[in-house]
Amino acid sequence: MLFEKLISIIAVTASLMDGGMDVAMPDKNVDGTTFLINRQYVISENYVPEVRKTNLAGMSQSMREDAATALEELFAAAKSEASCSLSTVSGYRSYSKQSAIYNRKKASVGSVEKADEYVARPGASEHQLGLAMDIAKRNSSSLSSNFGNTSEGKWVFENAHRFGFIVRYLEGYEEITGYNFEPWHIRYVGKEHAQAIFEASIPMETYISAYKLDVYDYLIHKVTNEVQP
């Protein structure tokens, strides 16, 4: 446990020394599950993933096939294990839709600087990857930090990794991720990475930077091979 915390601290420190989000990108494959997108690493307007509609309660939303299937399993488990009913609010978001949202915000707040405080610039949203979904309690479409205090939000926080998802924007890591705590935004990275990220309790940027430090092997093999430090 102590070693685990130490690893987190080393990784976080290294990430900060690197200038926060300026980290290695181990997955150059945009169709892979660990491709990093944030306010610094934006994606081209030409990137359009293959997505399908999720078969879930809520607004009709799309994701990539593997993420959609995993999310359907997550929703089913939330219901059967904890009687938690969830709904989808926002999934795949095209570059042009991001542009429209950004421009609307810019017009309403009057400046680029102000708009940047509220919404990501086009290409900076990982919703464009087709691997992110904003979720809420059933019959609710509002996204608020209060979701984290509900039984649904708590279940998602504790269990999302079992299905390959991470709660992407953690509390206390705003400087690294560029986002405030968003308990409703989950990102698919696959089970192996999700479990390692969850157990280390670090943001994805830090996890990715661990590739540089050889602690990545530790993080991932600890959970897959049960290697004891």
Estimate the crossing angle of helix 191-200 against helix 215-225, to 10 degrees.
110
Pick 7 or 130: Cβ nearer Zn ion? 130
Chain positions 178 to 217 lying near Zn ion, rule: CB under 5 A, are: 185
Catalytic annotation present for 126: no
The one catalytic residue among 4, 182, 192, 199:
182
Pick 106 or 185: Cβ nearer Zn ion? 185
Please name the amino acid found at residue 84.
Answer: C
Instruction: Give the x-and-dash track for 66-105 against Zn ion (CB under 5 A).
Output: ----------------------------------------
Chain positions 131 to 160 lying near Zn ion, rule: CB under 5 A, are: 134
Q: What are phi and psi of 183, to 5 degrees?
A: -65, -15
Chain positions 115 to 134 lying near Zn ion, rule: CB under 5 A, are: 134
Tell me the longest C-alpha to C-alpha distance in the chain: 55
- Shortest gap between Cβ of 33 and Zn ion (angstroms)? 17
d(CA 142, CA 7): 36
- Which DSSP symbol is given to 138? T
For the chain, the straight-line distance linking the first and the last C-alpha, in angstroms and rounded, comes to: 10
Please report, as ranges, the residues that interact with Zn ion according to CB under 5 A: 134, 185
List residues with catalytic annotation: 182
